[in-house]
Amino acid sequence: MTTQDIETLVDELTLEEQVSLLSGSGFWSLPGVERLNIGKLRVTDGPNGARGGGSLVGGVTAACFPAGIGIGATWDPDLAREIGGALADEVKSKNAHVSLAPTVNIHRSVTNGRNFECYSEDPELAAALAVGYIQGLQAKGVSATIKHFAGNESEIERTTISSEIDERSLREVYLRPFEDAVKKAGTWGVMSSYNKLNGTYAAENAWLLTKVLREDWGYDGIVMSDWFGSRTCAPTVNAGLDLEMPGPTRDRGQQLIDAVEAGEVSRETVRERALNMLRLMQRVGSLDDHRAFEERAEDRPEHRALIRRAGAEGAVLMKNEGVLPLDAPQKIAVIGPNAKVAQIMGGGSAQLNPHYRVSPWEGLVARVGEDRLTYAQGCTNHRWEPVMDKVTAAFFDNETLDGAPVHVEEMDSSVAFWIEGVGGGKVDPLHFSARVTGQYTPEQSGPHSFGLHAAGLARLFVDGQLVVDVWDGWTKGRTFFEEGCDEVTGLADLTAGRPVEVVMDFRTKPTDNLQFSAFRFGVSRPLGEAEIAEAARVASEADVALVFVGRSGEWDTEGSDLQDIALPGAQDALVSAVLAANPNTVVVLQTGGPVEMPWIADAPAVLQAWYPGQECGNAIGDVLFGEVEPGGRLPQTFPVRWADNPTRSQDPEVYPGLDGRVRYEEGVFIGYRHYDRQGTLPLFPFGHGLGYTTFEISNLRVMGEEVTVTVTNTGARAGASVVQVYVGDLEASVARPTRELKAFRKVRLEAGESADVTLTLSARDFAFYDVEAGGWRVEAGAFSVEVGFSAADLPLRCEVVREAESLAV
């Protein structure tokens, strides 16, 4: 169908039909128009896979790719393009047309719960990766939905807080990935953020959605709300929000028709919004898609291989004093809470039900055999007590658990996220109760900790005794997207081998903003000093010790910022004990962002593996044994301590926010720009990463807009490095960073090989955004051009002189 055809089609729609296209019909779908044979449009989360139309828990399995920060660490837009293409296949397997991805908000702080889902602290790196990812998706006819537009850099009061950001910082930092997504990648979808931007909700911010997005950048795609992120009718439609999600509508439908009749919204505006929706449906082929809805689990060998390769490409070798790569030692001690658990993804809307998970232990067993491995957990690192397997839920069509249940179903685990079709569709999803029953058999005798949190009211009983109560005195916390309470725990003495009955009673409560019900309960035996001592003993008897520590999707999750960046629980004590017991220790970190490392001076090798997707253990093993290079470079600065990062101000309005406002006081000085300005040395700088060979860079030449250097692999094996070009304005009339990343390229060379690498700098790369002039401005004078391998390793430098120049937006 041509553009002219949709221009004709939109005028064939009645006002009611046009309005129907501007809000969802269900949680993941839009209505078609049966009269004109227009098919339905379907969407799916998310950035590291296609979950499909089910709940956040369970459902049809899907391929799980590396988390956003792992893709960011690859510094490889071509690989991001490959991943985007594979994810397009995944979206199609879930019978969807639109992927709610990528997430490109900037790593403003080190404690943002959603850092794992985003690419970088640097806007140019994030922009380049977003362009590749979107191009890969849309080349196969699947729409991207770049998010969250804009100013969603923390998860505290995220649905209501106002991000106070000056226009220059917005243009130079926080809008940059979105700008390139529009101008270079031609994204078909943009998702508005929950938060307010400078006092106005993003979903009804005309400056953001119309002035910047459509007028300045020439965007012709659709803008959809985040789920329940549209709060008004006429203001959102007039501001430029095309689509309210999810359905059924809260703010449109008859309300919008009435607003048109009352003159609050023009018919032309509704027509424009409907035309945008038809254009999207045309692009993704849903106009003529009348297939029966079916979701498939397609576990493709090529996707397995890509995920494994991408996991290794994002792994950052932070430190190595000759321990890595591993040879074939006689005995390997495998230690830590992340050793036998595959931490493959963060939490929240990015999570999915993977085809499989390969833990580090399983990857090592497959590689060297179990007889050469010993194991000790040492400590725990869970935020919430581990869930129970196989429970039964009985649903009641009242909120008091009265009468006989109207539906009973088996559940794989003791966690649920109920959205629609609750209780087999036999209860009102906003007004029901449930009793969930399971059995737990302890392996050891002694006190066990039971934990429970819920978006709803709940109580937990063990063999009939009340152990946890979040029914009376329920208090809003940081779980389930800020709709749930914090976990409450209680102890019960259990006997090894003797099963106990665990019963949780649940009832709905009025929601705050997001309409769903959820719970999670679990149990574990607390560990202590004895288990750490045992881990040290196991390490002392091995040739090499591998310590797998970090966080999980319980900590790195949408809806909840971190309280600090220390490793949770007793992990620092565990690492120190193992390092003292075995000098050949490798610390393997899995986190969604920086952590403090008080033991770093004693650690001979540290590998940051992030959340690398379903091939986790295999990808990590490939790097540890040197079968592939650790290809990653840090996309975010690691500070020595939490207090060093840009948002650790004495003023709580700067972070985490105060009285409904979070003020971006640091302006453009985020990430490495902040550390340069303050003269603070980081633990590991932006762009840092080691390999198993060495590189030298020489012979800097700048001719016009081209920067050329010679890169030489001076080591004994093939490898890769990232050439990074930074620009600084030496005579600026406004406060500018000492240096800003403006170009980069991943270079692969054989041992002893040299190559000239040329990168391009445009006039825009020397400019700042002049708010008064309303455009980009290059000031006449001298600029530094620095080239090297990280923001703190820039051996080549020259100065260039630029003429004054004004550039359009």
Active site residues: 226
Q: Are 188 and 146 in contact (CB under 8 A)?
A: no
Residue 344, token pair as written in the block: 């493959």
The Cα–Cα gap between 125 and 791 comes to: 13
- Taking the alpha carbons at both ends of the chain, their separation in whole angstroms is 32
Q: For residue 756, what are the CA distances in angstroms to 692, 694, 719, 789?
A: 21, 17, 16, 15
The Cα–Cα gap between 721 and 701 comes to: 19
In one letter, which amino acid is 66? Answer: P
The Cα–Cα gap between 794 and 736 comes to: 19
H helices of 564-604, where? Answer: 571-581
Answer left, alpha or beta for residue 777, where phi above 0 means left and psi between -120 and 50 means alpha.
beta
Residue 469, token pair as written in the block: 């109560």
- Spell out where 337-464 has E strands: 373-376, 389-396, 407-413, 415-418, 433-440, 446-455, 457-462
The Cα–Cα gap between 798 and 788 comes to: 12
Residue 693, token pair as written in the block: 């060979």
Q: Are 269 and 237 in contact (CB under 8 A)?
A: yes
The Cα–Cα gap between 302 and 798 comes to: 44
Cα dihedral sign, 650-653-655-657: positive
The residue count of the chain comes to: 809
H helices of 544-653, where? Answer: 571-581, 616-624
Residue 695, token pair as written in the block: 């590189």
123-138 vs 176-183: helix axis angle to the nearest 10? 30
In one letter, which amino acid is 392? Answer: T
Strand partners, 492: 448
CA atoms within 13 A on the CB side of 516: 24
Answer left, alpha or beta for residue 703, where phi above 0 means left and psi between -120 and 50 means alpha.
beta
